[in-house]
Structure 1
Amino acid sequence: MALYDLAGARDEGLLDDLVTFAAELCATPTAVVSVVETEAQVFLSRTGTDLEGTPRSQSFCAHAMQGARTMEVPDATQDARFADNPLVTGTPHIRFYAGAPLTTREGIPLGAICVLDAAPRDGLTPFQTRGLEILATTAMARLETRRAAREQREQRKSAARARAALADSEMRFRTLADTMPQMVWSTLPDGFHDYYNARWYEFTGVPSGTTDGAGWNNMFHPEDQERAWQVWRQSLSTGEPYQIEYRLRHFDGTYRWVLGRALPIRDDAGQITRWFGTCTDIHEQKLALEEREIISQELSHRIKNIFAVIGGLIQVAARAHPSLAPLASDLRQRIAALGRAHDFVRPHSPRSRPSVHQDSLRGLLDELLAPYQSRPGERVTITGADVHVDDRAATPLALLFHELATNASKYGALSTPEGQVIIDIDTRGTQSHIRWQERGGPRVDAEAKPEGFGSQLIELSAVRQLGGTISRNWPVEGLELLLEVPTASFSRAHRS
C-alpha cells in the first residue's frame, strides 16, 4: 500500500471532493474513501464522521473490495456478517452501507469508496450505483497518479544516490590508485585501455590520454611489443589472468623492467565487465637476480674446477707412491662422481645447461651411470616414476649409486658382458622406493656379504644424509637392494 503514498493523499485532501460528491449523490450523511490493510482500514478521505479508521475486523469495505461491483447492505442488523459489528451495535450505529471497490491496474483489491447511513434503506438507484462506481474509478486513478509520482521521485532519489555513490567510489578508487607505488590501469572488456593512474604518467612522462586504446604498446621496448600483445590477446580471449615481464620506457628515455599483471572483473552471469591491472617496477630486482645468477654460475664453475684439481692432485700423489695407486684410483672415481652430480644440479648458462632436466632423479642417474654403458639403456635400465631432486640430495645420491655401480663393475652384473642392472623408482604417499637389481653377473654366494668402507658409505648416504633405510638381498642371480627415502629429502621443493 505504501506505493500509493496514502498518508500524502490524506494530508493533501486530494479525495475530499469525491467523498463530498458521493454523499450528495447518494443522499447519505457519511461517505468514506477507505483503504484496507492487513490489520486495519484507513480512511484517506471522509465526510460525516470523525473516525480516521477502524480495525479490519470491523470493516465493511474489506468485504466490498472483494467483488467486482458495488456491494449494498440495506440493514446491517439483519445481515449475519455485520449484526454483531461494534459499528452496528454501537456508535455510529450503521444500518445502510453501499461500497464500490477500489482495484489497482494489476487487479489487486485496495479498498472501497462507500456511503453510510444510520437508517435502513432499500438500496441505491441505478443512477447512484453507476455514479458511485465512476467515483471509485476516479479515486483509483488519483491514487495511481500518486503512485506514479511517488515511483518517479523514488527513482530520481535512487538514481541520485547511485550517482553519488558512484562518484564517491570513483573518487575513493582514484585516491587509492594514485597513492599506490604501482602503475594502475583498467580496460573495457575488449581490452581498450581507458584509465591510468597518476603513477603511470609520472613514470612514463607522456601526456594524459596519449596511451589510451592501443597506444600503451608503443611504450614497450621494441623487442617486447609483439610478445606483450600475444600474452594480452591470450588473456582477452580466454579470461585467464594476465602476467608478463617487459621493458617499459621511462620518462628519461631509458627502458626499465616492469611486472605487468591484470585480472578480469565479472558480473553475476560470468561475463567480463572490466580488466584491472598493475605495472610494478622490478628493474633493480631484475638486475640483482641477473648479477646473482652470473656470480652463482661463476662460483659453481670454480667448484667444478676444484673437483678436477683434487682429482689431479690425487693422481700426482699416486705416481709418487705406486703402492697407493688402487686407493687413489678409487678415490678419484668417487670425486669424479661427486663432480658429475655437482655439474648436474649447479646453475648453468644457456650454453652449459644439460639437455636433461636438472631437477630429475632419473636424469641424475643417467648422468652418474653413463660411464658404465656405451649407449643409454645398454647395461643399466631405469624405469618407473621420476622424483624432483636438488643440490642437497645430489651429493649423497652420487656417492650411493657410484658405490653400487663400482661394486657391480668389479664383482657384480657389470663385470660381465651379459650383465644388466635394473633401477626402478616408485613413489608411494610420502615415501620413494628405489630398487637396484643385478642380473646376468657371476653367481652370488649367499654367505659372501661384503662389509667394508663401500658398504659404510652407502649406509652413510642413505640413512644419515637422506633419512632413509636400506635392505639388501643376495639371491644367486645378483644383488637386490631397496632404498626407502622420504620424498621430502630429495629437494627443498618437497619440504615446502
Structure 2
Amino acid sequence: MQGQPDTFRDAHLAAIVNHSSDAIVSKDLNGIVMSWNAAAERLFDIPAADMIGNSIRRIIPADRQGEEDAILARVRGGELVPKFETMRLRADGTLIPVAITVSPIRDAEGTIIGASKIANDLREQATLRAELLQSRQRFEALANNIPQLAWMADREGWLFWYNQRWYDYTGTTLDEMQGWGWRAVHHPDHVDRVVEHVQRSWDTGEPWTDTFPLRGKDGDYRWFLTQAQPLRDDNGEVILWCGTNTDITEERETNERIRLLMNEVNHRSRNIMATIQAIIQRTVGDSDPDLVDALTRRISALSANQDLLTSGNWIGVTVADIAQSQILHVSDISEGRVEFDGPDDVKLKPAAAEALGLAIHELATNAAKYGALSNAKGRVALRWRVEERDGAAMLDLEWRERDGPPVVSPTRSGFGTTIIKRNPAMAMRAQVTLDYAPDGVVWRVLAPADVLATAASKEALQTGD
C-alpha cells in the first residue's frame, strides 16, 4: 500500500517528461546520458536508444566542449546552471540554437548523482531575431544615408531618436537632444515661434511644416525646411511622429540672388520705358497728343505688369492684383464704381498675366473716355471663375459695363482692339468675345486652366468660389 503513491507519482512524472515540448535529458556526473525524452528525439533527430548510455558530448560542437566541462563542474558543486543560450548539433551535424537550464539530481540521501537538462528550441526565435536585426540594419542604413536630418518623437512630442546626419551636423548627442533639448540648436530669434507652431501640431495631430535656421557644430546657422507627419494606429490615434529637416540654404540664397537680379532687370526696363516715353514726347510732341497719350498709357500699363511679375518672382500674378493695378491708372476703385468678384488665389502665368493686364488697362481707359466710367453713375463689374466645362477646368473672366452713355460700335478696329481681343486670344489660347451692347460693353475670356500658375485654382473649382 505504501508503494502505490510512489508508483503513481513516478508514472505521472514520466508522463509529464515524455509529453513535454521541451527536450528533457538526464546524465550522470561524467556526462553519460541516462534518459532522453521524445522532445529530445525530435529536436536533435536522435533516437533515445542511440543516446542513452552514450556521452552527451555527441550533440555539443567541438568549439563548445568547454561548456560541458564547466556545467559538470558546477553541478558537482551543487549549483543550478541558469538558462543560457548556446548551439547544439542535430544528427546530421546541423547547428541549432537552444536555451539550456541544468539542475543537479540528488539521491535519497541528498548525494548529487547526476544532472537534469532542459533544452528549448530557439530556431524560430533566432529567425525572428535575424529578421528583426536585418530590418533594423536596413532602417538605419536608409535613415543615416538620406540627405535630410531625421528624427522621431512620441505622441506627446518627446523626441527620442535622431539619425546620424543630425549628430554629424549639430555635433550633439542623444542625451543633449532628447525631449525638448533640440531647442538648444535653434536660432534665438526663431525658437519661440517654432515651439509654438510644433506644439500646435502635437496638440491637434495635424502635420507640421516650418522653415527656420539650425546651428551646426561649427557655430554657423543654415536654413532648413522641416516636415513632420503623425503615425496613427488602427483607431486613428497618434502613436509617434516622424520628421525631417531639409537644408534649403543654397536654395534660399539662389532665390535671393534671382530676386535681386530681377529687381535690377525691372529697374532697368523701367528706365528704358521712361526713355521711350521721353523719345515719343519729343518726337511727336504737340503734333499728335492723342498718340502720345495712348502710347504713354500703354507703356505705363506694361510697366505696372512688370512690377507685379517681379514682386511675384515671375511665377505668377493673381487676377485680382492685375485688375486692381491696371484700373487704378484710370479710376479710383475706392469710389466703389468698379466691382471685383472672384477668388483671390487664382494666379496667371507671366505671359497670360501680361496679356490680361494690357487688355484690362485698355478696357478701363475706353470706359473712362467713352463708357461706364465717363459719367457720374456708370459702373463696371469684373468677374472671374474657375469652372468645369465639358470635363475640363476653364478660366471664365467677364468685364461688363452698365449705366454708362449709350454704346456705339466703333467703325474701325485699331491697335486697342488688338490688345483687347487678339493678344489675350494668343497668349492665353482663349476664346475672346467683345460685345458693344447698347446698355454697356461686355468683354469675355474663356481660357484653359493651364494658363493658371497655382494649384489654388483647383480649390476654387471644388468649392465653386
Q: TM-score, normalised by structure 2?
A: 0.65
Question: Residues 243 and 374 (structure 1 numbering): CA distance in 2 closer, same or farther, change over 3 Å?
Answer: closer
The residue number in structure 1 matching 2:383 is: 424
CA apart distance, 1:494? 8.9
Within 2, Cα distance between the matches of 1:272 and 1:495? 32
CA apart distance, 1:397? 1.3
CA apart distance, 1:392? 1.7
Contact 2:386–2:394 at 8 Å: present in 1 too?
Answer: yes
User: In the alignment, which of 239, 244, 259 is matched to residue 293 of structure 1?
Assistant: 259
In structure 1, stretches of 5+ residues that fail to align are 1-133, 350-357
The residue number in structure 2 matching 1:452 is: 414
User: In the alignment, which of 409, 413, 436 is matched to residue 399 of structure 2?
Assistant: 436
Task: Provide the secondary structure at the position in 2 that maps to 1:424.
Answer: strand
Percent of pairs identical after alignment?
31
Cα deviation digits, residues 35-69 of structure 1 (max 9, x gap): xxxxxxxxxxxxxxxxxxxxxxxxxxxxxxxxxxx
Within 2, Cα distance between the matches of 1:226 and 1:463? 51
Specify the structure having the higher radius of gyration (Cα). Answer: 1
Q: Which amino acid aligns with 2:326?
A: L
Q: Counterparts in 2 of 1:63-74, with a 5 A limit?
A: none
Within 2, Cα distance between the matches of 1:407 and 1:361? 20
User: In the alignment, which of 341, 344, 350 is matched to residue 305 of structure 2?
Assistant: 341
Cα deviation digits, residues 433-469 of structure 1 (max 9, x gap): 33333323332346x5442232233232132222222
Question: Residues 203 and 334 (structure 1 numbering): CA distance in 2 closer, same or farther, change over 3 Å?
Answer: same
Question: Residues 138 and 233 (structure 1 numbering): CA distance in 2 closer, same or farther, change over 3 Å?
Answer: same
Q: After alignment, is 266-275 or 152-161 more displaced?
A: 152-161
Contact 2:161–2:174 at 8 Å: present in 1 too?
Answer: no
Within 1, Cα distance between the matches of 2:189 and 2:171? 21
Within 2, Cα distance between the matches of 1:166 and 1:271? 25
CA apart distance, 1:417? 2.4
Task: Provide the secondary structure at the position in 2 that maps to 1:474.
Answer: strand
Contact 2:158–2:179 at 8 Å: present in 1 too?
Answer: yes
Contact 1:413–1:421 at 8 Å: present in 2 too?
Answer: yes
Q: Counterparts in 2 of 1:48-447, with a 5 A limit?
A: 146=21, 158-207=124-173, 209-319=175-285, 322-347=286-311, 359-385=317-343, 387-429=346-388, 430-445=393-408
Within 2, Cα distance between the matches of 1:192 and 1:384? 45
Task: Provide the secondary structure at the position in 2 that maps to 1:252.
Answer: coil
Q: Aligned-residue CA RMSD in angstroms?
A: 3.7
Question: Residues 366 and 260 (structure 1 numbering): CA distance in 2 closer, same or farther, change over 3 Å?
Answer: closer
Question: Residues 375 and 481 (structure 1 numbering): CA distance in 2 closer, same or farther, change over 3 Å?
Answer: closer
Q: Which amino acid aligns with 2:319?
A: L
Task: Provide the secondary structure at the position in 2 that maps to 1:223.
Answer: coil
Question: Residues 291 and 270 (structure 1 numbering): CA distance in 2 closer, same or farther, change over 3 Å?
Answer: same
CA apart distance, 1:332? 0.4
In structure 2, stretches of 5+ residues that fail to align are 1-8, 25-117, 459-465
Question: Residues 193 and 158 (structure 1 numbering): CA distance in 2 closer, same or farther, change over 3 Å?
Answer: farther
User: In the alignment, which of 420, 425, 447 is matched to residue 463 of structure 1?
Assistant: 425
Question: Residues 265 and 465 (structure 1 numbering): CA distance in 2 closer, same or farther, change over 3 Å?
Answer: closer
CA apart distance, 1:233? 1.9
Question: Residues 185 and 135 (structure 1 numbering): CA distance in 2 closer, same or farther, change over 3 Å?
Answer: same
Q: TM-score, normalised by structure 1?
A: 0.61
CA apart distance, 1:156? 5.8
Within 2, Cα distance between the matches of 1:490 and 1:184? 35
Contact 1:345–1:390 at 8 Å: present in 2 too?
Answer: no
CA apart distance, 1:169? 2.7
Task: Provide the secondary structure at the position in 2 that maps to 1:165.
Answer: helix
Q: After alignment, is 459-468 or 481-490 more displaced?
A: 481-490
CA apart distance, 1:327? 0.8
Within 2, Cα distance between the matches of 1:270 and 1:492? 32
Cα deviation digits, residues 376-400 of structure 1 (max 9, x gap): 2533223345532242222211221
Q: After alignment, is 167-176 or 330-339 more displaced?
A: 167-176
Question: Residues 298 and 228 (structure 1 numbering): CA distance in 2 closer, same or farther, change over 3 Å?
Answer: same
Within 1, Cα distance between the matches of 2:253 and 2:438? 60
Contact 1:489–1:495 at 8 Å: present in 2 too?
Answer: no
Q: Which amino acid aligns with 2:425?
A: V
Cα deviation digits, residues 328-370 of structure 1 (max 9, x gap): 1111011111112222232269xxxxxxxx7321231122112
Within 2, Cα distance between the matches of 1:435 and 1:277? 46
Question: Residues 190 and 456 (structure 1 numbering): CA distance in 2 closer, same or farther, change over 3 Å?
Answer: closer
Contact 2:327–2:333 at 8 Å: present in 1 too?
Answer: no
Within 2, Cα distance between the matches of 1:478 and 1:280? 55
Q: Which amino acid aligns with 2:317?
A: D
Within 2, Cα distance between the matches of 1:494 and 1:190? 33
CA apart distance, 1:305? 3.4
Question: Residues 177 and 376 (structure 1 numbering): CA distance in 2 closer, same or farther, change over 3 Å?
Answer: same
Q: Which amino acid aligns with 1:479?
A: V
